[in-house]
């Protein structure tokens, strides 16, 4: 009997600890926060880094099943150094109450930051960043729009001695919302002085994406072109996911065919050895 009571007490304490941990993780995020960290893969300074932007559709593949292992395997196989993720769940019922960004970071041994676009009574949904390299700091901004709330995640990572700013976003579905959100993003990143890469799902076909060019801005972002004009990033054949940078001499971006989401990852190698502002 004494042993039974001791085991029962231990189980109750464990359950209380787990529930408190989840609630604390859900409610403690602010617009400026320290990134959660897992054990990083060794990453030394190099001539540049490979970036991926990937709308993971809360981990749901074309088979209708949520499978984070499939997502992490793809990222590992592609050897991406920095990954901007969209449609990421955090403690939501439909994805098994998992902190998806943290789970992927642990699987890949990477640093991670998460920016909620929507906060529910239980769980959150938004953008995330994974990185082999240390994340020096991160913040996020809620973007304007009349429809579903969108956000912009900003993170500063350190590659060797070179700080890099990564901006990750997922724009709205209406033209009006996207115009307002693009303008706000251009304003937010306009004071960036060093290398900057903007990655995300812009929900716009190629010909409609506005260049991030403002005469009063210190940052002039240019879209990284694709290897083929026929490239699609969404299962319906459209091209709506992009990478922008203020860095010259970037080779064309490429996509990775996959059934792990309704989007295809977009990737590019960002050279840093001879960084020159666009």
Identify the DSSP state of 229. T
Q: Which of 79, 144, 147, 151 is nearest to 113 (CA)?
A: 151
Rama region for 145: left / alpha / beta (φ>0; ψ in -120 to 50; rest) = left
Is residue 217 very low, low, confident or very high in pLDDT (cuts 50, 70, 90)?
Answer: low
* Contact status, residue 238 vs residue 262, Cβ threshold 8 Å: no
**pLDDT per residue as tens digits for the range 145-171:** 999 999 999 999 999 888 999 999 999
* Contact status, residue 148 vs residue 86, Cβ threshold 8 Å: no
Identify the DSSP state of 93. G
**pLDDT per residue as tens digits for the range 69-118:** 999 999 999 999 999 999 999 999 999 999 999 999 999 999 999 999 99
In this structure, the dihedral spanned by the alpha carbons of residues 37, 126, 153 and 135, taken in order and rounded to 10 degrees, is 10
Distance between CA atoms of 131 and 77, rounded to whole angstroms? Answer: 15
pLDDT surpasses 60 at 42 = no
Residue 39, judged by CB atoms within 10 A of its CB (0-12, 13-18, 19+), counts as exposed
* H-run or E-run covering 156: strand 150-159
* Contact status, residue 146 vs residue 124, Cβ threshold 8 Å: no
Distance between CA atoms of 101 and 96, rounded to whole angstroms? Answer: 13
* Contact status, residue 63 vs residue 259, Cβ threshold 8 Å: yes
pLDDT surpasses 80 at 18 = no
As given in the structure block, the two tokens for residue 92 are 């939501």
Q: What is the side-by-side order of every strand in the sheet holding 32-33?
A: 32-33, 135-143, 150-159, 162-170, 196-201, 241-245, 222-223
For each of the domains in the chain, give its residue range(s) and CATH number, in order of start.
48-274 (3.60.10.10)
Q: Which of 189, 124, 206 is nearest to 153 (CA)?
A: 189
* Contact status, residue 79 vs residue 110, Cβ threshold 8 Å: no
Entry pTM? 0.83
Quick one: pLDDT at residue 215? 55
């Amino acid at each position: 009997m004494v042993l039974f009571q001791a085991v029962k007490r231990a189980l109750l304490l464990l359950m209380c600890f787990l529930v408190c941990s989840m609630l604390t993780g859900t409610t403690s995020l602010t617009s400026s926060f320290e990134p959660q960290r897992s054990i990083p893969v060794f990453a030394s300074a190099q001539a540049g880094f490979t970036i991926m932007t990937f709308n993971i559709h809360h981990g749901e593949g074309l088979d209708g099943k949520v499978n984070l292992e499939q997502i992490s395997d793809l990222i590992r196989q592609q050897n991406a150094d920095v990954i901007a993720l969209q449609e990421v769940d955090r403690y939501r019922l439909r994805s098994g109450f998992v902190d998806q960004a943290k789970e992927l970071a642990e699987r890949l041994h990477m640093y991670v930051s998460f920016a909620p676009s929507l906060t529910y009574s239980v769980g959150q949904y938004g953008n995330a960043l994974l990185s082999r390299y240390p994340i020096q700091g991160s913040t996020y901004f809620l973007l304007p729009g009349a429809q579903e709330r969108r956000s912009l995640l900003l993170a500063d990572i350190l590659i060797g001695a070179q700080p890099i700013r990564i901006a990750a976003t997922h724009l709205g579905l209406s033209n009006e919302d996207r115009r307002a959100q693009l303008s706000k993003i251009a304003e937010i990143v306009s004071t960036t002085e060093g290398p900057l890469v903007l990655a995300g799902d812009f929900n716009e076909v190629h010909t409609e994406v506005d260049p991030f060019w403002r005469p009063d801005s210190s940052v002039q972002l240019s879209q990284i072109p694709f290897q083929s004009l026929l490239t699609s990033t969404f299962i319906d054949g459209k091209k709506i996911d992009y990478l922008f940078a203020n860095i010259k001499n970037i080779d064309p971006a490429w996509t990775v065919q996959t059934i792990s989401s309704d989007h295809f990852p977009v990737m590019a190698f960002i050279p840093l050895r001879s960084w020159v502002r666009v």
